[in-house]
Chains A and B, each alone.
Chain A
C-alpha cells in the first residue's frame, strides 16, 4: 500500500502529461499537472534548506570534525533566511506605498540585496572561476596523444583554441582568398557546423532513446528505485 499508491501517482501524473499532447480535451489537465509540479519545485527548495539545517545541526551536536564550519553555515543560512523572509529593510512598492510588505524582497539597497551582491555573487562566481586553473592543470597532466583517437581530439582542440581567438586570424592570415576555407577561423566554423553537429546529433538521438526508455520504465512501474529502500 505504502509503495503501491506512489506507483499509481507516478503513472497517472506522467500519462496525463503524455495524453495532453495527443488530445485537446486533456490539454488543461496537463497544464494543471505542470502547475502543481512548478509549485512543488518551490517547496523542494524549503526541503533543501531544512535538510541542510538538519545535517549541520547534527554535525554540531555530535562534534564531528570540522563542526565549527557548520556553525558558520548555520549562521549564514539563518541570517540570509530571516532577512529575506522578513523583507527586513525593504521599502514598500511604489504602487502601494501604504502596504509595508508590498515591496520586492530583492530591492536594490536592502540588506537581502547586499547579501546577494557582496556575498552570494562573489562566492558562487569565484567557485566557478577556479575551474580555469584546474582545466590548465588537467591539460598538462592528463592529455596524452597515445593513439589516433587522442590525436584527433587534441588536434581539434588546438584548432578550436586558436581559431576562436585572434591567434587563428594571425596564424593563417597570409593565406590567399581562394584558400580562405583553410584559414583557422573558417576551419573552426566548419568543424563546429559539420563534424561537431554530426557527432552531437548521434549522441542526442542516443540519449533521447535512453530517456524515452527510462521514462517508460518509471511510468510503467518497472523501475521503482526512486521509492528508495526501507521496510516502510
Chain B
C-alpha cells in the first residue's frame, strides 16, 4: 500500500478529481437535490446593501471578468442583475475587462429580457461597454463619464439615453456593485473610487483566489463581499428566499411550485451556485484525503530513514 501511494502516477489523482466533480454533477443534475445554504454575515451585508436601497436607485454594475472565471462569478452576476431588477433599481452596466461586455450581454439576455420584459433599455438599464486602461478608466469616470463614454456599447449617444442624462460621474451612483476576477477589479475600485470618495458604497463578488486579499477592506471600504462559489450560493439562498415566488417554476395554473418542505422550487438558472456546492464538497474531501495520505507517506518514509 505504502509503495503504491509512494509511486502513484499523478494521472490517477487527475482521474480521482474528475470523478469527484463529475459524479456529483450528474447526480445533482438528475435528482435536483442540493445541500442547504446558511448565509454568513458578509453575504447578508451584500444582500441588504441592494435590498435596503430605495426603489429606483442608481446602481453601477461593473462586470470585470471573462469566461475563464465564469464558473465562480456568473451565478453572482446573474443574481446581482435579478436582485437589482426586482427592486427596480436603475442599472448601469460597464466593464474593465475586454470580454466583460459579453458577460453583461449574457446577463441581460438570460435575466432581464427573459424575466423582466417590462424593463426598458435606456430607461431601466444600459450597457456602457468596455474601455481600456484598467484603473485609468476609474480615474476618469469617477469625475466625468463622458470623457470616455460618449456612447453606450450600441453606439447610441450618451445625451440621448434617458438614464444617462441623470448621471455625470460615478459619484452620482447610489451603489457600486463589482464582479471581479482579478486585475483590474474590486481592489482597483476600492483604491481609485471608494477610498478617495468615501461617500460611495460598494459591494463585490470575487473569485476564491482574490477573496482573502480583500478582507482588510471590510467593512470600511467594502461593505460586503461574496467570496468564491460559496459566497454566490449564499447570496442565491438569500435572494431566492426573498423573491422565491417570482423565481419559482410554475405549475399548470401558473402558480409557483412548492416542494414537500414548503420551499419554492426555484428555476435552475437561479440555483447555479447552490448546485455547484455539491461537487465542491466531494472535491474538498478528496483534497483533504490526498494531503493526509501524502503526509502519512512522508512520515513513514522519515521513520524508515531514521531507523537506517
Interface residues of A, Cβ cutoff 8 Å to B = 17, 21, 27, 30-31, 34-35, 37-39, 41-42, 44-45, 93-96, 102, 104, 106, 108, 116, 120-122, 124-125, 127-129, 132-133, 135-137, 139-145, 154, 157-158, 161-162, 164-167, 169, 185, 189, 192-193, 196-197, 200-201, 204
Contacts and interface: CB of A to CB of B under 8 A. Distances in A.
A165 B230 contact: yes
Given A35-B147, A193-B215, A132 B154 contact: no
B13 A34 contact: no
B32 to A, nearest CB: 16
The residue in A140, A162, A165, A192 that gathers the most chain B C-beta atoms within 10 A of its C-beta is A140
Interface of B: 8, 10, 13-14, 16-18, 21, 35-36, 38, 40-41, 66-71, 98-99, 101-102, 105, 109, 131-134, 136-137, 139-140, 143-144, 147-148, 153-156, 196, 212-213, 215-216, 218, 227-228, 230, 277, 280-281, 283-288, 290-291, 293-295, 298
A15 to B, nearest CB: 15
Nearest to A202: B216
Contacts, number: 161
A166 B230 CA distance: 10
B140 A35 contact: yes
Contacts of A162: 284, 288
A145 B14 contact: no
A38 B212 contact: no
A140 B36 CA distance: 30
Contacts of B284: 161-162, 164-165, 167
A17 B196 CA distance: 14
A165 B215 contact: no
A136 B13 contact: yes
Contacts of B218: 193, 197
